[in-house]
């Protein structure tokens, strides 16, 4: 069974540019999550999809971040325009249904904004 | 979600048991205790979780005190590959179970 895959593994962009990160969850996992760790900080929850719907987006830092999950399969996280403080590692995770269980994390996409 | 307290670092000899403590004195009745770890710069990896009873799987054992205010993760025979940051997380079940609040964790170093 393929794990959670994320693209790109590393992206370097200039401040003000746009970057789109992609996450392919494990097949059959309805739940998809985005997390991030910015420099020196803890891993933070960004949002949660159930299929194509946003269940919880309380962790999204501001409106420069847009997450989508069209068709309930893969998800994208777009940062537009990117700022220096957006640099960090963005993790995607997926899981099966409730009530509890494990999250399967991808290897992360490292974003460097110059 | 309840806050957890973990020691910042611990050492363990290879082949010995690693016992990682966690305090979660404000845990509520419907909250679970989850353990994840992050090896180097990889994505977090699930280890185990529990509500009230002790749990064991192929990776570890989780011992939760009767009052649920603390727990211990036990790696029975630590190897060098178990060197990682270990996170104790308290969170709800149901629709919010994937919304994890990571703290600083415990850096476990397994030495030969």
- pLDDT 10s digits, A36-49: 999 889 999 999 99
Distance from C-alpha of B101 to C-alpha of A100, rounded to nearest angstrom? 15
Please name the member of A42, A93, A98 whose beta carbon is closest to the beta carbon of B93.
A98
Q: Which of residues 66-85 of B touch A (CB under 8 A)?
A: none
Helix, strand, coil tally for chain B in percent (to 5): 5, 45, 45
Q: What is the DSSP letter of B44?
A: P
Q: Which of residues 28-87 of A touch B (CB under 8 A)?
A: 31, 33, 35, 42-45, 48, 50, 55-56, 59
Q: What is the pLDDT along chain B (112 residues), one digit of tens a residue?
A: 568 999 999 999 999 999 999 999 999 888 999 999 999 889 999 999 999 989 999 999 999 999 999 999 999 999 999 999 999 999 887 777 788 999 999 999 999 9
Cross-chain Cβ contact A98/B94 below 8 Å: yes
Residue A56 corresponds to which tokens in the numbers above? 């919880």
Is the separation of the CB atoms in A84 and A21 below 8 Å? Answer: no
A33 min Cα distance to partner chain B (Å): 7
A90 min Cα distance to partner chain B (Å): 9
CA atoms within 13 A on the CB side of A102: 13
Three-state SS for B5?
strand
Query: For residue B77, what are the β-bridge partners?
Result: none
Chain A contact present for B45, CB below 8 A = yes
């Amino acid at each position: 069974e393929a794990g959670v895959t994320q693209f790109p593994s590393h992206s370097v962009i200039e401040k003000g540019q746009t970057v789109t990160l992609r996450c392919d969850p494990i097949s059959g996992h309805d739940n998809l999550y985005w997390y991030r760790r910015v420099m020196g900080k803890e891993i933070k929850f960004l949002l949660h999809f159930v299929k194509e719907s946003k269940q919880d987006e309380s962790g999204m830092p501001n409106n420069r971040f847009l997450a989508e999950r069209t068709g309930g399969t893969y998800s994208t996280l777009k940062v537009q325009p990117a700022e220096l403080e957006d640099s960090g590692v963005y993790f995607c995770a997926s899981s099966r249904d409730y009530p509890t269980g494990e999250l399967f994390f991808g290897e992360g996409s490292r974003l460097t904004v110059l | 979600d309840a806050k957890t307290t973990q020691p910042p670092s611990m050492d363990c000899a290879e082949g010995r048991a690693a016992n990682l403590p966690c305090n979660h004195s404000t845990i509520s009745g419907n909250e679970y205790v989850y353990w994840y770890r992050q090896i180097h710069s990889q994505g977090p990896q699930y280890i185990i979780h529990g509500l009230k009873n002790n749990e064991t799987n192929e990776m570890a054992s989780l011992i939760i005190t009767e009052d649920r205010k603390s727990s211990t993760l036990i790696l029975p025979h630590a190897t060098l590959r178990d060197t990682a940051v270990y996170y104790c997380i308290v969170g709800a079940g149901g629709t919010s179970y994937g919304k994890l609040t990571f703290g600083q964790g415990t850096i476990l170093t397994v030495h030969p």
